[in-house]
Chain A
Amino acid sequence: MIRLNRTQAIALALVLITIVLGYYGRDLGKALDARWLTKFPSAWVIPFKTYVSSAMKWLIEDAAIGPVSFTDLTRAVAWTIEQPYNLVLALLADGFVSGQGSDAQVILPAISWIVVITAVVALGQYCRDWALAALVGACFIYLAVFGQWDSAMVTLASVLIAVPIGAGGGLLLGILAYRHPLFEKIISPILDLMQTIPIFAYLVPILFMFGFGPISALVATIIYATPPMVRITTLALKGVDPEILDFGRMAGTTQRQLMWRVLVPSASHSLMVGVNQVIMLTLNMVIIASMIGAGGLGFDVLAALRRLDIGAGFEAGIAIVVLAIAVDRLSQAFAERMGQVHHDQPGSWVARHRRTVLVLILLVVTWVLGQFSLLLLEYPENQTITTGAFWDNTVEYLNVNYFDVFEAIKVFFLTWFMIPIKTVLLGIPWPWAIAMLTLLGWHAGGWRLALLCGGMASLILVSGLWSKAMVTVYLCGASVILATLIGVPLGVLAALNKRAGAVINLLIDTLQTLPSFVYLIPVVMLFRVGDFTALIAIVLYALAPAVRYAAHGVRSVNEELIEAGLVSGCTRRQLLRHIRLPMALPEILLGINQTIMLALSMLVITALVGTRDLGQEVYIALTKADTGRGLVAGLAIAFIAIIADRLINASARQARIRFGLES
């Protein structure tokens, strides 16, 4: 018999009451003739949407500082990004063209596929060795052979623009934060918020400000990919050996010399980790960005998903993965190379830059001879292979032969797991729900947190999005429960068993390199659209942190505690149950926190498969370019994220304090 103390008893009772209330909430409302208990009356809704829409309208049409209007500002930003983007796009994909429409004259065609492949192979060999060169070469050849070349080059062009801007801007902001503690104080909570707010919250305003098109997509990508770089830069600069800092000052460097000739080069290794992050986040955004006008592979996937063309979607999705792998490995190898020793070979410029010279010669040759043979410029279309039909057939085969099995799994989960959760969440009377949230906040982190939880929940309520928010919480919650149930044991296993750990690590690494959309495709193939499909896609995407943090938590339990347990005669199971798991609890909680954040960021993607949550609301707003609606729904997602984040962080901190790991 488990004995409970008073607080635990009260908590348990409250949870039970909530569940019962939720289950019978609607009937209760009917019985008391008080429908408003579960359904917030539309007359009470404050029309935030309209306010935001008109505010945005004002911003675009009338806002100005002196003679410079807000629109001028956005146009200037757009223009600055557009110039390099058009150049790279012309080089990689479109070629340089003069004139418009059918009169267009190609002045210089895009760089030949042969040259691009040679260049990446040379880069791979330069950064590490022939093995890497072979890998990236194979990746790019795959893109050509499978007919994804043109789209891939459009995507690559946007990566080539977004990464330098994101990394460079992040570096500068990070330096600023390092130099001025005040600026760091201002920017640090903003960075926190940026990492909690799902991307979709700011897609709509960006769309409104920059219009539908690749520039909007680039702006969104850059905003999404920059925050980690800022943080890593500040950390890297702070991590430079204080003696190196002292040396720089003693050598009589000016402020600028100290930063750029001493600190930044000394921190370059850590900085490259940040750049790699920027690259991965940029690739992660490829499909989402296509919702507001990015072309390329992301657009192909999105279009295929919209018309449920499984084969085409899968091919384009794989192409994104292949591109991501190539770029990721190259950038990692480059970072490693920077940290290694290499000696300049003597000789002329040509002798020292043989690879560059080779690529340049090849470029000129293909451009000149390309006039006569198109093969040198473009991979012949009739030589491409498509696997679309194969995937379509496979799916058809599976659906014809195993339909019952899939259907049974789906129905089982829906009936016994998802629908009950949904019913309860939608049925809880909102006054009770807000009261419980406030209480939870108070218990975990005092009155400030209580105020935050209650306030944000009320805002969601009065904006009229309560039921959609509850569907969001249900989808997200169900996914997080599943991800935790699968992920934490996997993590514990990975920490306790070396061989299993290696396999699980590989699996998680692979899952994390995949852009979020890719998960959706195979699941849609087998389970078609609906909540269950969304659930699986979210679980797959959000699994990684649950595993990682659990493994790390279990691994970093103090060795002496384990020995103390062993000496007291614990069995392996007791060791796990009484020492390892409780001590790893704070870490596990943080992992679940990350899982929730990832789950929330997947929501708008799953809106594509027909869920009826806040994600859908944002998605509809995107297609209608309805700023107010999109921003309010996006903010509601952000509020949910912030409430979850703060609550869990506060609990994790409490646990750490209890264990004396933090004061």
Chain B
Amino acid sequence: MPPKTKLACRNVWKLYGANADRLLQKTSDPTVEDLSSAGVIGAVRNANIEIDEGEIFVIMGLSGSGKSTLVRCLSRLIEPTGGEVLFDGSDLLRATEKELIEIRRHKMGMVFQHFALLPHLTVLQNVMFPLTIQAVPKAEADAKAREVVELVGLKGREDYYPRELSGGQQQRVGIARSLVTEPDIWFLDEPFSALDPLIRREMQDEFLRLQERLHKTIVFITHDFEEAVRLADRIAIMKDGEVIQIATPEELVMNPATDYVTEFTKHIPRSKVLTVSGVMSPGADGEGEPILQSTRVSDVAERIIAADAPIPVVDTEGKPVGAIDRKAVARVLFGEGDTA
């Protein structure tokens, strides 16, 4: 059964400028020249995305590429100029103010780059806030909030104020707050960009651990390609308001759509992106403990290099699909050009 699409956007445009609306009414697909001659800035141009239930979908782009605008169009924090946003099959842009509030209260959660914690509330009160405004009974809200605070590892700090916490801890509060309503879809807008590199790494692990338990549908924004590769099931790369490629990390590295994508992938160690299945010899035999085909090369490189003979590769059901030897790994680690 193919995975269900949770959130999709079709032909979404976000244009800024006096003539934005009129321009889009005239032509449904204006070119860059059309935009500049009308004095309109295209923050998001004709975005088409489908996000499957339970996947981590990363939107990657440099600053000014429109990724933050796009995610705000998906959550309708920003009203798109044109197109439709389908959430569970119905158009979010047609929802009334009241329906939108209901959807946000129960089905969406969001984490922000600079945490966006309310300075006058304690950790617990911050986490409880989404429930408080829904008028959930106090005892129930309290219990739920304590539960998620514990989940993100902040037990014992419930009565601290945000400014008493480190950046990493503050973002844990932000994460707890966005999870307290048990949302279906979870937006994370550059959640770790404001953190130190070491903390960032730790938070990424934490994030993956959480997702293993929760299986949310996730839209994750980042400008850091390495982070994207680490976390993503699929990545959409944006440039100048346009989505230029949507693919798994592996596909991006193997078949970059444009030079721009190549430029990004060049600096990423391939062993961290490529999986064993991409570099093994299909159908070959090997000996020893088999390796799962979806494993990243970097995780097993040492073992393969140490082994004298090829090691068998199996799929998730344990069926052998091929074998991998140290030559293949060496090509990934040291080789240039294509590895196929």
Closest to A343 in B: B159
Contact at A251–B104, with CB atoms within 8 Å?
yes
B72 CB to nearest chain A CB (Å): 7
- Given A243-B114, A341-B164, answer yes or no on A251-B120 (Cβ-Cβ < 8 Å): no
Q: What are the residues of chain A within 8 A of B72 when measuring CB–CB? A: 246
Question: What distance in Å separates the Cβ of B96 from its nearest Cβ neighbour in chain A?
Answer: 13
Chain A, range 268-282, C-beta contacts under 8 Å to B:
268
Q: Which residues of A contact B110 (CB under 8 A)?
A: 246-247, 250
B112 lies within 8 A of A253 (CB): no
Residue from B108, B109, B129 whose CB has the most chain A CB atoms within 10 Å: B129
Closest to B178 in A: A250
Complex CA distance for A22 and B268, rounded to whole angstroms: 81
Interface residue total, chain B, C-beta cutoff 8 A? 31
- Contact of A241 with B by CB under 8 A: yes
Interface of chain A, main secondary structure: helix
Instruction: Indicate whether B118 reaches chain A with its CB closer than 8 angstroms.
Output: yes
Question: Is B223 in contact with chain A by the CB < 8 A criterion?
Answer: no
User: Is the CB of B38 closer than 8 A to any CB of chain A?
Assistant: no
- The answer to whether A246 touches B112, judged by C-beta atoms less than 8 angstroms apart, is yes
Among the stretches A164-172, A189-197, A257-265, the one at the interface with B is A257-265
Contacts of A252 in B (CB 8 A): 101-106, 130, 133-134
A354 at interface, CB cutoff 8 A: no
B161-A341 in contact (CB<8A): yes
In the complex the two chains form, is A254's CB within 8 Å of B116's CB?
Answer: no
Partner of A249, one of B102, B104, B121: B104
Q: Chain B residues near A265 (CB, 8 Å)?
A: 118-121
Chain A count of residues within 8 A CB distance of the other chain: 22
Q: Mark A315-348, 1 if CB is under 8 A from B, else 0.
A: 0000000000000000000000011010110000
A268 touches which one: B75, B120, B134 (CB < 8 A)?
A: B120
Residues of A close to B134: CB separation below 8 A: 252
Closest partner residue, chain B, to A254 (CB atom): B101
B163 at the interface (CB under 8 A from A): yes
Contacts of A254 in B (CB 8 A): 101, 133
Q: Does B77 contact A (CB under 8 A)?
A: yes
With both beta carbons as reference points, the residue of chain A lying nearest to B119 in the complex is identified as A266
Residue of B nearest to A338 (CB): B120
A301 vs B133: C-alpha distance when bound (angstroms): 52
Q: Are A246 and B77 in contact (CB under 8 A)?
A: yes
Q: Please name all residues of chain A whose beta carbon is closer than 8 Å to the beta carbon of B193 when the two chains form the complex.
A: none
Chain A residues lying within 8 Å of B101, measured Cβ to Cβ, are: 252-254
Knowing A246-B77, A265-B120, the reply to whether A251 touches B130 (Cβ < 8 A) is: yes
Cβ of A64 under 8 Å from chain B:
no
Number of A-B residue pairs at CB separation under 8 A:
64
Query: Cβ of B48 < 8 Å from any Cβ of A?
Result: no
List residues of chain B with CB within 8 A of the CB of A243. Answer: 112-116
The distance in angstroms between the C-alpha atoms of A251 and B106, with both chains bound, is 9
A254 to B97, CA, bound (A): 9
**How far, in whole Å, are A492 and B104 apart by their CA atoms in the complex?**
55
1/0 contact string of B109-139 vs chain A (CB within 8 Å): 1101111101111000000011011100000
Q: Which residue of B lies closest to A253 (CB)?
A: B133
Closest to B112 in A: A243
Q: Please give the distance in Å from B170's CB to the nearest CB on chain A.
A: 12
Establish whether residues B133 and A251, one from each chain, have CB atoms under 8 Å apart when the complex forms.
yes
Within 8 Å CB of A249, what residues of B? 77, 104
Of chain A, the residue at the smallest CB distance from B103 is A252
Across-interface contacts of A500 in B (CB, < 8 A): none
Contacts of A246 in B (CB 8 A): 72, 77, 110, 112, 116
Query: In the complex, A261 Cα to B131 Cα: how many Å?
Result: 13
Please encode chain B, from 27 to 69, with 1 for each CB lying within 8 Å of some chain A CB and 0 for all others: 0000000000000000000000000000000000000000000
Q: In the complex the two chains form, is B104's CB within 8 Å of A257's CB?
A: no
Q: How many angstroms from the CA of A262 to the CA of B116 in the assembled complex?
A: 10
Minimum C-beta distance from A538 to chain B (A): 43
Whether A12 sits at the interface, judged by CB under 8 Å, is: no
Q: Which of A189-215 contact B (CB under 8 A)?
A: none
Partner of B105, one of A247, A251, A262, A344: A251
| 1/0 contact string of B164-177 vs chain A (CB within 8 Å) | 10000000000000
Q: Do residues A266 and B120 form an inter-chain contact, with CB atoms below 8 A?
A: yes
Q: Report the bound CA distance from A265 to B110 in whole Å.
A: 21
Residues of B within 8 A of A250 (CB): 75, 77, 104, 108-110, 187
Per-position binary interface string of chain A over residues 88-117, scored 1 when its CB falls under 8 Å from any chain B CB and 0 otherwise? 000000000000000000000000000000
* CB closest chain-A residue, reference B164: A341
For A242, give the chain B residue with the smallest CB separation: B116
| B133-A261 in contact (CB<8A) | yes
State the CA gap A247–B101 with chains docked (Å): 12
B 200-251 contacts with A by CB, 8 A: none
Which residues of chain B are within 8 angstroms of A257 by Cβ–Cβ distance? 133
- Mask, B129-162, CB within 8 Å of A = 1, is 1101110000000000000000000000001010
Quick check: is A507 within 8 A (CB to CB) of the other chain? no
Ranked nearest first, the 9 interchain pairs of A and B with the lowest CB-CB distance are A252-B105, A252-B104, A243-B116, A247-B116, A250-B110, A243-B112, A251-B130, A265-B120, A341-B161
What are some 11 contacts across the A-B interface (CB < 8 A)? A243-B114, A246-B77, A246-B116, A249-B77, A250-B77, A252-B102, A252-B103, A252-B130, A252-B133, A257-B133, A261-B132
B residues at A contact (CB < 8 Å): 72, 75, 77, 101-106, 108-110, 112-116, 118-121, 129-130, 132-134, 159, 161, 163-164, 187
| 20 further interface pairs, Cβ-Cβ under 8 Å (given A246-B72, A252-B130, A265-B120) | A241-B114, A243-B112, A243-B115, A246-B110, A246-B116, A247-B110, A250-B75, A250-B77, A250-B110, A251-B130, A252-B104, A252-B105, A252-B134, A253-B133, A257-B133, A262-B118, A339-B119, A341-B161, A341-B163, A344-B159
